[in-house]
């Protein structure tokens, strides 16, 4: 299928090597990066950059790199210039089992089967790339985990479907990943509306740039979907950082795999 003009515009982001703002003072700011990681090298990764301080946060840009080396070359200058870095990745970055599924994936089936928000089985046969990316991130100063604070640079696995269920107070996931094109487009519009509402209610200190505002109004196509997923991954990171972990839940463990989730707002009265 031929790419639309909008899709070609977003695909051109994979040429970006230094989104705006990287040379400014970073000592008092926390870098938050959301990554919608492709499981293989043939498809691009959605990347969203944010920076936050005690008063506010702002989106610093997006990128759409393809391949391991391109992704790491993009991230390394950002990571090296910040004292505190928190990366949230939608992919099974800790995965030791060659076949079958991880304990944390089975746990999501018990926790989120009613909402249709359980993980797909992850193993090294199906998805060897995410653990490789974690290894490359560790080589440039990152560590797996969910700790935050000055001098700490960590990378956490996140999973948008159950996070959306919790933050948006949903009974079922937003089904924009599968189905006929018109169905995905309708569900994606619903996602955009819910994200705008969530931003107003829970991220009022986050300043959105024009690029982000436009992204949340674009018609659905795969690049727009990937970058929107990256934005949401970054929001999970910002949520965890802003609340100092008090409004987050970690399921699983650092040995066999873990997922960082926001606490369930459905259980909290408004």
pLDDT per residue rounded down to tens, the chain (270 residues): 344 444 445 454 444 434 554 445 566 799 999 999 998 888 999 999 999 998 999 999 999 999 999 999 999 999 999 999 999 999 999 999 999 999 999 999 999 999 999 999 999 999 999 999 999 999 999 999 999 999 999 999 999 999 999 999 999 999 999 888 889 999 999 999 999 999 999 999 999 999 999 999 999 999 999 999 999 999 999 999 999 999 999 999 999 999 999 999 988 755
Provide the residue count of the chain. Answer: 270
Rounded distance between C-alpha atoms, residue 116 and residue 136, angstroms: 32
pTM, rounded to two decimals = 0.91
Pair 136, 73: CB distance under 8 Å = no
Quick one: pLDDT at residue 19? 54
Strand, helix or coil for residue 139: helix
Domain that holds residue 151: 5-267
Pair 119, 39: CB distance under 8 Å = no
Strand, helix or coil for residue 240: helix
Quick one: pLDDT at residue 36? 98
Quick one: pLDDT at residue 20? 53
- What ranges in the chain are assigned the alpha helix state H? 5-11, 68-80, 103-112, 129-139, 160-167, 181-202, 210-215, 222-242
Strand, helix or coil for residue 270: coil
Quick one: pLDDT at residue 157? 98
Number of separate domains in the chain: 1
Quick one: pLDDT at residue 156? 98
**Cβ atoms within 10 A of the Cβ of 22, count?**
17
229: CB partners within 8 A, 6+ apart: 36, 46, 90, 160
């Amino acid at each position: 299928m031929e790419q639309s003009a909008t899709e070609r515009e977003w695909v051109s982001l994979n040429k970006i090597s230094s989104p705006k703002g990287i040379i400014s003072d970073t000592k008092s700011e926390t870098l938050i990066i959301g990554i919608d990681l492709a499981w293989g090298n043939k498809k691009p990764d959605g990347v969203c950059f944010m920076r936050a301080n005690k008063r506010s946060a702002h989106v610093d840009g997006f990128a759409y790199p393809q391949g391991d080396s391109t992704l790491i070359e993009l991230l390394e200058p950002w990571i090296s210039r910040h004292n505190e870095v928190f990366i949230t990745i939608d992919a099974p970055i800790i995965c030791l089992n060659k076949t079958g599924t991880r304990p944390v994936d089975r746990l999501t089936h018990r926790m989120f089967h009613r909402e249709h928000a359980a993980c797909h089985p992850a193993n090294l046969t199906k998805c060897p790339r995410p653990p490789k990316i974690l290894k490359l991130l560790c080589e440039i100063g990152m560590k797996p985990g969910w700790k935050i604070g000055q001098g700490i640079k960590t990378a956490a696995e996140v999973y948008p479907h159950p996070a959306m269920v919790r933050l948006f107070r949903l009974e079922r996931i937003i089904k924009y990943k599968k189905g006929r094109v018109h169905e995905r487009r309708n569900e994606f519009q619903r996602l955009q509306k819910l994200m705008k509402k969530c931003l107003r209610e829970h991220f009022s200190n986050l300043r959105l740039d024009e690029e982000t505002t436009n992204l949340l109004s674009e018609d659905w196509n795969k690049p727009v979907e990937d970058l929107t997923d990256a934005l949401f991954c970054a929001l999970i990171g910002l949520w965890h950082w802003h609340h100092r972990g008090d409004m987050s839940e970690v399921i699983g463990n650092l040995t066999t795999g873990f997922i960082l989730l926001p606490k369930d707002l459905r259980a909290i009265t408004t």
